[in-house]
Amino acid sequence: MIHPSAIIEPGAQLGADCEIMAGAIVTRHAVLGDRVVVHPYAVVGGDPQFLKFDRRTPTFAQIGEGTVIREHATVNRSIYEGKATVIGARCFLMTNSHAGHDCVMGDDVVLANNVMLAGHVEVGAFTFLGGGAAVHQFVRIGESVMLSGLARISRDLAPFTLVAERDEVSGLNLVGLKRRGFARETLRELKQAFRQVYLGSGNIRTLAAEALGSGAFTTAEAGRFLAFFAEGKRGFARSPKKAFGGAAAGSAEDSL
């Protein structure tokens, strides 16, 4: 359904049963899957906020099926020829949230009101970003992360974690994991892996590699958690114990 005063530019691609509400703008660079809903005054496929960008470059913003984009939210297109900013299926971008150019977002992600993702941010599936959170460019956020409102993130966030304030990991997102129906053995291994990486002594990347190579972890989820630390260039968010030499040592352990 296309509401009166919605703007859909020639060349935009819309899947079946999309709803574009009054005042919404879907540019010619947008590719929408089935059942996408775009609320008033949202802009999908707008130009990237990149000073050297040539507006003639053919790039895209791709929105997965069932995703809802609320009022005044913006999804910018890629800066690279033939490439796309990607929003997964069944995502929920709340009012005034922003996904910058070349972000890649997994399925079932929620951006609460006023969340700001800079360019090239990766967000894993089933992650929730709280209202007003700001994420630096090129940051990776793993799956099933729970990020608190007003957080400031400049480092990578490992999968399945709770994160707040300035890059502070406080524990595992156990509520989210249980809602996804993970088995008891999976939760046990994730707790063990978390302790070895975040509460151990030594380089966090090395600790994760040693744990992954030990053969002690058999579940796919623990493997994904540990493998996350092998990549990335921005460093990793830390627990208060790791970041401040034990000043807040109880917080990470209490969350487990």
Catalytic residues: 101-102, 119
- Record the tokens describing residue 242, joined without a space: 């790791």
Calpha distance 129→163 (Å, rounded): 10
- Record the tokens describing residue 174, joined without a space: 């156990």
- Record the tokens describing residue 139, joined without a space: 């940051």
Contacts of residue 120, defined as CB under 8 A and 6 or more positions apart, other chains included, come to 100, 101, 102, 103, 137, 138
Calpha distance 76→99 (Å, rounded): 6
Indicate left, alpha or beta for 244 from its phi (over 0: left) and psi (-120 to 50: alpha). alpha
What angle is formed at CA 196 by the lines to CA 195 and CA 198, rounded to 5 degrees?
A: 65
E strands present in 127-204: 128-129, 134-135, 140-141, 146-147, 152-153, 161-164, 168-172
Q: Please say whether the beta carbons of 77 and 62 come within 8 A.
A: no
